[in-house]
Structure 1
């Protein structure tokens, strides 16, 4: 404006020198102190796959004035987040914790980078960057958070809150423990008359629930388990459910084991209930990957026959889309069911169900709905045909896999079927 109105030139020059003076002041108060900001990222030692994991950034302001902060955290590339920016204010000599959550959807190693903190003084003309090297590798394990949740609820008898049913025990699956003195309230049908005669006082037989039954999770790693659902593959859902089921089985004093397979049998953990068994299973599950091959059920049967001698509960996690694909494997399932109690767990296609519930208007929508009904019916037919041969089948949506699998296990325990 001073070129048009020359009288303004003096005002413009004055404002320019004021601006330069403020710029120098801002630079001095921001850059002359060297370590007036401290930041630290706190992460768990390992992350839980498919769960929201808490991450926190701890900040300290050592400046003698209030500041405005922008924090950019360099999180692992697997999360595909480029806009993780936090803005906050911090008073002089004050500390603050910023918390956020990350949900990984793949197991493996995740590398965190630096924590970048951009500081503005009250002048707000310059911005200074502090970079805190927080390079750290964090392993993403199967869902141990979900495992702990189920464990805590099992201990406090609150499993019904997350959908686990309370099932009445049927029959008598108890084993003898000891002979002890009669106490008022004991079942008189359990009086041991021979011991009573010897001791001249009432004695009763004490029983305990039959325990130490072998529970094996058989996990299919073939290409059918690569299908994604809400960010997780079906294999990851099966791995998370296997970890929870193994933990519940050990809590119930049963023996937990594991076998993985695809075109060939992978790693096997013999069913035990010794300390460290769950950690061993967790480490094996952490390393599992889809092999993108056709599953060889004959190899599974041969190895099961060779390695699992005791009658056990076999929970087989796999997937079938058609009756014909199941029938090709039915001879091996029947052989497995002859020596063990076999449960085949496979997945409901929730997108098909959503399509079935959606009203059809156009010809194309009617056609798609007809095809969806065909595939939906085939899944139900698989359950019926397996039941005809005495094979337990569990058809479940992926998000309800863990609850439904635990329910099935508890039902079998309650009914004394093993």
Structure 2
């Protein structure tokens, strides 16, 4: 049984050893067929033994031409960090110290959550170094140890394959996808306008003075700097920006309802990406950002700090948080948020809006928080519910289903409006627009001087 398991491991790229190829088996099958046909004519057992011994000897010569492990040097080049749903290149470098040419196929110890196709039948010339690239597509955040690399070598004859196992430990972190964050950092205005959202202009004189620049069509004439215009003989205007140094506290719910699957990932994945984009926007604006991830208990806490370098601290702390199969403890998270943020701040909660809003006892705690802090909740809208509302019924059953969906939607809006009357806004957005919705609401809040 143990010998069978060892042989099976070799066939599955899990061990070392020499195994026959299909080519060898085909040759040997032809030899057996030839001997079977010749058996119809009488020939001696001596002839059969000599022919068999000669055939086995010829087939075995190829096995002695295979390389030894010390003759092949192998290395792997792989990024220490990869973004989820972002293709990355892995390079396997093979150096052949022998005078023979080999064909190699490989299988790397990539986790099952990485989609990839390994190279097949790559040529390794004698005395040369070859780089064999292949792509990986990580799909699940977390920390992974990539260790073993399996190689199978064949000679020109290709009768035998020799498998070698190399230990090349690499620790790889799969972090949230930062495409939304990068787009914002490249150009905040283009990022928001591209999504069809226009930033409300600040009231004249509101915010901090930024600089004096040339007047362009569309600028507010009330902001023209007449003194500088007279000096430079050109129309100049004052430019203002939102005040810096505000406090932003981001809460990320990791409870049971955040595990609802979407087209790409789940609610938690999109919430983490949106939270990082919002943090980047606030840090770029000079604000202080703190992040708390929670479910039934606290999962990760990042104290408030300023500067874009703080974004890396946030990323390294929350990149591997996962959904818990438990209900979230909102009072604990909000109490902890107040303990680490004594000053007035904007508290942004990423969670399931309906789960939070339908618990009336939360309203009592939130009224207290509202007296000192500015609160907003962001969630992902239910696409199935929206699709059911937009359907055109073609039967009595479908009409009943649509009416039930409409009734549920109206009830949700009534609950959300009740919270909004108490100064506790709740916003729902499609999964792909959650990040831009959170950033636009943050900027609009600053521009209106609410924080």
TM-score, L = length of structure 2:
0.73
The superposition leaves residues 309-344 of structure 1 with CA deviations (integer Å, 9 ceiling, x where unpaired) of 433222111113369615442333343334333221
Counting matched residue pairs gives: 404
CA distance in 1, matches of 2:378, 2:333: 16
SS in 1 for 2:121: strand
Q: Which residue of 2 aligns with 1:101?
A: 136
**In the alignment, does 2:94 pair up with 1:59?**
yes
CA distance in 2, matches of 1:36, 1:161: 59
Instruction: Note the 1:278-289 alignment, pairs <5 A.
Output: 278-286=311-319, 288-289=321-322
Structure 1 spans left out of the alignment, 5+ residues: 197-203
Q: Which residue of 2 aligns with 1:346?
A: 379
**In the alignment, does 2:38 pair up with 1:2?**
yes
**In the alignment, does 2:152 pair up with 1:133?**
no
Instruction: Note the 1:400-411 alignment, pairs <5 A.
Output: 400-411=433-444
CA distance in 2, matches of 1:335, 1:205: 42
CA distance in 2, matches of 1:21, 1:289: 58
CA distance in 2, matches of 1:76, 1:115: 12
Q: Which residue of 1 aligns with 2:254?
A: 221
From the superposition, tell whether residues 188 and 304 of structure 1 become closer, same or farther in structure 2 (CA, over 3 Å): closer
Contact 2:114–2:137 (Cα < 8 Å) also in 1: no
Structure 2 spans left out of the alignment, 5+ residues: 1-36, 231-235
Q: Which residue of 2 aligns with 1:310?
A: 343
The superposition leaves residues 325-381 of structure 1 with CA deviations (integer Å, 9 ceiling, x where unpaired) of 154423333433343332210121223344555666677666555544444444444
From the superposition, tell whether residues 34 and 345 of structure 1 become closer, same or farther in structure 2 (CA, over 3 Å): closer
CA distance in 2, matches of 1:158, 1:363: 47
CA distance in 1, matches of 2:214, 2:407: 62
Contact 1:345–1:393 (Cα < 8 Å) also in 2: yes
Say which of 329, 333, 336 aligns to 2:362.
329
The superposition leaves residues 205-264 of structure 1 with CA deviations (integer Å, 9 ceiling, x where unpaired) of 977522222222122233322333346342332222212211121112222222334445
CA distance in 2, matches of 1:106, 1:60: 33
Instruction: Note the 1:22-171 alignment, pairs <5 A.
Output: 22-31=58-67, 33-49=68-84, 51-77=86-112, 79=113, 85-92=118-125, 93=128, 95-107=130-142, 109-143=143-177, 145-146=178-179, 149-150=182-183, 152-154=185-187, 158-159=190-191, 163=195, 165-171=197-203
CA distance in 2, matches of 1:300, 1:34: 56
CA RMSD of aligned residues (A): 4.2
TM-score, L = length of structure 1:
0.78
Q: Which residue of 1 aligns with 2:13?
A: none
Contact 1:323–1:379 (Cα < 8 Å) also in 2: no
SS in 2 for 1:248: helix
CA distance in 2, matches of 1:26, 1:161: 66
Say which of 269, 274, 282 aligns to 1:249.
282
